[in-house]
Amino acid sequence: MTQGVRGTRDFYPEDMRVRNWLFERFHEAALSHGFEEYDAPLLENEELYTRKSGEDISQQLYNFEDKGGRKLALRPEMTPSLARMVMARSGALALPIKWYSIPQCWRYERTQRGRGREHYQWNVDIWGMEGVEADAELISVLVHFFKSVGLSSDDLVIRVSSRKVLEEVLGSLGIAGDDFSKTCVIVDKMDRLPPDVIEAQLQDLGISPESVAQIQKILGIGDLAGIEDALGSGSDAITEIQSLFSLVESYGAGGWMEFDASIVRGLAYYTGPVFEVQDRAGELRAICGGGRYDRLLGTLGGKDLPATGFGFGDMVVMELLEAKGLVPDLSTGNSDVVFGMGPELRGAAMTVASTLRSKGRNADLVLEDKRMKWVFRHAERIGAERLVMVLPDEWAKGIVKVKVLETGEESEVSLDSLC
Ligand code: HAM
């Protein structure tokens, strides 16, 4: 009975403090770049996610029929909800749209380190801009966040490629349209599935063993010069990637980003630059993933609008922050503990607590008869800053006793000057 659903987490107050601290950093990074927050329901119509590209996410859907026979699903990601919202107001929203959100997402995944069946995913997206300036701005948001929690480019790397690189390679092999996105979804699994399984899946799509070898060769390229050699300097994909690198350099964030052709991403809708953030030690799953998806609205029956964004889970980054000792000690709040000596001073203690609260202090009032020793221990346990004691003689003069817990310093203060 005490066990929750497999792969889900309870957040006790000490966990909530950490979660709120992390989310505050998410909010701050997005707001500092001019993004606005939005939200959407956890429940969506299942058809929003029924894509036929063989993506893992489609097989991991938490779906059910409601009492009215509607086919619904818990959102596995935020992007389709965002697309739905943008489409619903198409033409009425001022472009570019720069929005962010921190939704809980649900996927029936195999639970493992860094992967659960629910996670919170910070989403930051820009709609209505075709140029890589938008993609570069997203990288800047990410770097701002990482710096704000004390992570550096020694800890992390943003690995970037472009679907256009693969599009050029696969196009020359005659693979385009739906087959192109299906191929991307398969090759994204190359590092997780045995080569014969990947080859069989590609051959099912009609891709010859020679073409498979060619794809593998390209995906093995880990630097810009190498991919330029392979595709030729006239390649649009290369020009675009080069310009993204140079813009990111202007933000002073060049050291965070590396080209890596093996970054393909497992979602079918990406169309341009794609990226993932990984720990340099290579011990953890992807911390964040995103990219450009200019044709998603079209697949949902709307008019295409260029878009780019990323999703950033709360689980893997917390593992990294904990391993590096970067989670601050959050037990020290700034609250006051208010204590009235004996039942006759309970009313006075309530007046003192109300005064403190109305002045913006967080005041925890001791509501029962407790011994002084208990009150001290309690104040220490909750990390209070001050203990405000309402004692008979002092209160008769309109004064309370204040003890600063860190220094032990005591003073007598009138109610008016308490804050
Ligand atoms: P995604 O790569 O599926 O992309 O997920 C993005 C991030 O969410 C991952 O890098 C990881 O941090 C986290 N994540 C995903 N699944 C789990 C899980 N089961 N447990 C814990 N964390 C998880 C997307 O969802 C895209 N919609 C992102 C996006 C936004 N692209 C453009 N805009």
* 310 CA from centroid of ligand 1 (Å): 8
Ligand 1: atom nearest CA of 76 is 25
* 419 CA from centroid of ligand 1 (Å): 45
Residue reference for tokens 């780019």: 308
- Average pLDDT per 10 consecutive residues for the chain, totaling 419 residues: 93 95 98 98 96 88 97 98 96 96 97 94 98 98 98 98 92 88 92 88 89 89 91 88 97 96 94 97 95 96 96 97 94 83 95 94 94 94 93 95 95 88
Nearest CA to ligand 1 atom 18: 115
For residue 275, give Cα distances in angstroms to 185, 190, 261, 270, 307: 15, 16, 10, 11, 14
Helices (H), 190-261: 195-204, 209-219, 224-231, 236-250
Give the residue among 388, 404, 396 at the shortest CA–CA distance from 355.
388
Nearest CA to ligand 1 atom 28: 311
pLDDT at position 412: 96
Instruction: Give the tokens for residue 43.
Output: 């429940």
Residue 211 buriedness (CB in 10 A; 0-12 / 13-18 / 19+)? buried
pLDDT at position 223: 92
Give the residue among 122, 114, 106, 121 at the shortest CA–CA distance from 5.
106
Nearest CA to ligand 1 atom 5: 311
pLDDT at position 417: 85
Ligand 1: atom nearest CA of 78 is 27
Tell me the whole-structure pTM to 2 decimals.
0.95
Give the residue among 99, 129, 132 at the shortest CA–CA distance from 33.
99
Report DSSP letters for 9-69, one per residue: ----HHHHHHHHHHHHHHHHHHHHTT-EE----SEEEGGGG---S--HHHHT--EEE-TT-
Nearest CA to ligand 1 atom 11: 313
Q: Give the type of residue at 252.
A: G
Ligand 1: atom nearest CA of 123 is 30
Residues in the chain: 419
* 124 CA from centroid of ligand 1 (Å): 12
Write down the CATH superfamily of domain 13-323: Bira Bifunctional Protein; Domain 2 (3.30.930.10)
State which of 77, 129, 192, 278 you would mutate to test the pocket of ligand 1, scoring each by most atoms of that ligand within 8 A of its C-beta: 77
* 77 CA from centroid of ligand 1 (Å): 7
Nearest CA to ligand 1 atom 29: 310
Ligand 1: atom nearest CA of 293 is 32
Q: Taking a C-beta distance cutoff of 8 angstroms, is the pair 30, 100 a contact?
A: yes
* 100 CA from centroid of ligand 1 (Å): 14
Q: Give the type of residue at 39.
A: D
State which of 62, 119, 278 you would mutate to test the pocket of ligand 1, scoring each by most atoms of that ligand within 8 A of its C-beta: 119
Radius of gyration of the chain (CA): 27
Instruction: Give the tokens for residue 150.
Output: 């004390």
Report DSSP letters for 115-147, one per residue: B-SEEEEEEEEEES--SHHHHHHHHHHHHHHHH
Ligand 1: atom nearest CA of 117 is 19
Nearest CA to ligand 1 atom 8: 313
* 312 CA from centroid of ligand 1 (Å): 6
Ligand 1: atom nearest CA of 79 is 27
How far apart are the C-alpha atoms of 263 and 258, rounded to whole Å? 11
As annotated, the residues of the chain forming the CATH 3.30.930.10 domain(s) are 13-323
* 308 CA from centroid of ligand 1 (Å): 14
As annotated, the residues of the chain forming the CATH 3.40.50.800 domain(s) are 336-417
* 289 CA from centroid of ligand 1 (Å): 6
Q: Taking a C-beta distance cutoff of 8 angstroms, is the pair 302, 97 a contact?
A: no
CA–CA–CA angle 171, 175, 178 (5° rounding) = 120
Ligand 1: atom nearest CA of 317 is 12
Ligand 1: atom nearest CA of 77 is 25
* 283 CA from centroid of ligand 1 (Å): 18
* 66 CA from centroid of ligand 1 (Å): 26
Residues with Cβ within 6 A of ligand 1? 77, 79, 107, 109, 115-116, 119, 121, 123, 125, 267, 286-290, 293, 309-313, 315-316
Could you please state the CATH topology (level 3) that the domain comprising 336-417 is classified under: Rossmann fold (3.40.50)
Q: Taking a C-beta distance cutoff of 8 angstroms, is the pair 60, 108 a contact?
A: yes
Q: Give the type of residue at 29.
A: A
State which of 51, 98, 111, 121 you would mutate to test the pocket of ligand 1, scoring each by most atoms of that ligand within 8 A of its C-beta: 121
Q: Give the type of residue at 54.
A: G
